[in-house]
Structure 1
Amino acid sequence: MWTLDELLERVSAALAAEYPGAPNGRVRDVPDRRAVRWYATTGLVDRPSAMRGRTALYERRHLLQLVALKRLQAEGRTLADIQAELAGATDQALAALARVPEGLLDLGDPVPEPAPAREAVRPRFWAEPAAPPEPGVPPAPRPPPHPPRAPRPARQRRLSRPCPPFRQRHRPPAPPSAARPATLLTGVALGHGAVLLTPGSPTATDLADIAAAAAPLLDLLAARGLLVNERETP
């Protein structure tokens, strides 16, 4: 298995051959870390195969999916068309689209699991025996006991005076505010239970731009545990 950085290095090496690049400047030639996480959120790419601590691990199928996705984008295909074509695709179909060299599909050595950190053992000073006094040194004198406190005189209870009546101030009621017309809001799902409310009806291009711009917000919500079923923190 590979980490996310190792996966992106293999994607870049696989796209170095037979890849004309994105048709416009709005699409990256090589996906970055946030793009891969967003692809996994929207279902374009499978989620990580395993988690080792807070490190996500990926396999050959993720490499084939990312390279095939970028090659289809280079042909001018939209993300909606790519998702419809790659949904449920087998590894053989992805390999035919991605054309990844065999050397890049080698998983290599497994990532070693880091050893758990050991907490420092604090000394139990209360359980250790007291050190013997040094010869010739007198022991420290003990403080004298505190003298008993004199009893306090009983306090005389004061007669409570009745509180003056509270005067209520009558204020005229506020005039009713003019009714405002209701605004129709459209919910845009960002993934993991996050929904963006916006007036109007966004187009398919607007949805793609909103999803790309919401990647930093999703990272922040995931880091603070405010998403549903979040398994990774970038």
Structure 2
Amino acid sequence: MDGTWTISELAEHAAAALSADGSTQVSGRVRDLPNERLIRWYTTIGLIDPPLGRRGRTALYGPRHLLQLVAVKRRQATGRSIAEIQIELATATDETLERIAALPTPPAVSAPPPARVEKPSRPNFWSARPDVSYTQATVPDDYGKPPPPIVQGVRLAPGLTLVLDVPVLNDDDLTAIEIAARPLLQELQRRGLVSAPENPTSLSARPTRRSQ
């Protein structure tokens, strides 16, 4: 892994890692490989760190973002819910993410090829995507079961997310959480366990469905 990537390049690297061993086929509820929209959503709920920086208007991502993205999909493939993954990976170290993500080892560099070599075609990162045609009717495994609960993830500060199993959080709820969390944030910041929030006067909550 080298340097930084755009969000589309990050999605391609993650898709290649997951397609290498067929991880996306383990669970019928985890079918789509990562894309830009999913990466932005994971960043909003605290599963992926904010971008390292920007080149102009282009957000840049690094190796830790790749580990986080692949680790989330690995856990989803084993049947874990988003809420469970948030609790486990919200403050995971690089070593923990490397163990869970288990990125494929890049092939060894071979000797220089002969003088004339055709440029290899770009790998097809979506080759492992399942057939989504409707030529044959299928019934999902969870048909008829109650819908999964909605989980609200409230990001209090970088690296600190409050997960609530509630259907709705309104502005009054967020204001109350912000006021109640101030002493905790101040103590954690004093101990150097979390950094100060980017916008300490505003909290955000996004609903998270178990089937995502």
State TM-score, norm by structure 2. Answer: 0.49
State TM-score, norm by structure 1. Answer: 0.45
Bigger Rg, which one: 1
- Name the structure with the higher helix share: 2
